Amino acid sequence: MSRPDDLVRAVEATLFAATEPMSAEAISVHLGGAEVKAALAELAEQYRERGINLVERGKRWHFQTAPDLAHLLRREREEVRRLSRAATEVLAIVAYHEPVSRAEIESIRGVQTAKGTLDVLMEAGWVRIVGRREVPGRPVIYATTPEFLTHFGLESRRDLPGIDELRAAGLLDPVEDALAEAMEAAGGAEGEAETQSGDEADAD
Partner 1 sequence: MTETVDTPSITFAEDDWQGIGAAATEDQALYLELDGWEGPLDLLLDLARRQKVDLRRISILELVDQYLTYIERAEALRLELAADYLVMAAWLAYLKSALLLPREEQPDPSPEELALRLQLRLQRLAAMRDAAARLMGRDRLGRDVFARGAPEGLRVDRKSLWQCDWFALVQAYGQVKARTAPVVHMVRDRMVMTLDSALSRVSSMLGVNLDWMELRDFLPPHADPRLRRSAMASSFVAALELARLGKAELQQDETFGPLMLRGIRA
Considering only 77, 134, 137, 158, the residue that binds partner 1 (CB under 8 A) is 77
* Cα–Cα distance for residue pair 93/161, rounded to 1 Å: 13
Residue 180 near which of its own copies, partner 1, none (CB within 5-8 Å, type-dependent):
partner 1
- Choice between 22 and 141, CB closer to partner 1: 22
Between 5 and 204, CB nearer to its own copies: 5
What sign has the CA pseudo-torsion 91, 58, 172, 161?
A: negative
Out of 4, 14, 59, 145, the residue judged to bind partner 1 by CB under 8 A: 14
Rounded distance, CA 156 to CA 130, Å? 17
Q: Which residues contact 95 (CB under 8 A, 6 or more apart)?
A: 144, 148, 157, 160
Q: Of these partners, its own copies, partner 1, none, which one is at the site of residue 96 (CB under 5 to 8 Å by kind)?
A: partner 1
8 vs 104 by CB, closer to partner 1: 104
Of 4-12, 32-40, 135-143, 152-160, the segment contacting partner 1 by CB under 8 A is: 152-160
Residue 40, CA distances (Å) to 4, 25, 43, 148 in order? 12, 12, 5, 22
d(CA 40, CA 61): 8
Instruction: Summarize as ranges the residues that interact with its own copies (CB under 8 A).
Output: 1-4, 8-14, 16-17, 30-31, 46-47, 49-52, 63, 65-66, 69, 72-73, 75
Identify which of residues 103 and 138 has a Cβ nearer to partner 1 in the complex: 103
What crossing angle do the helices spanning 85-97 and 102-109 adopt, rounded to 10°? Answer: 120
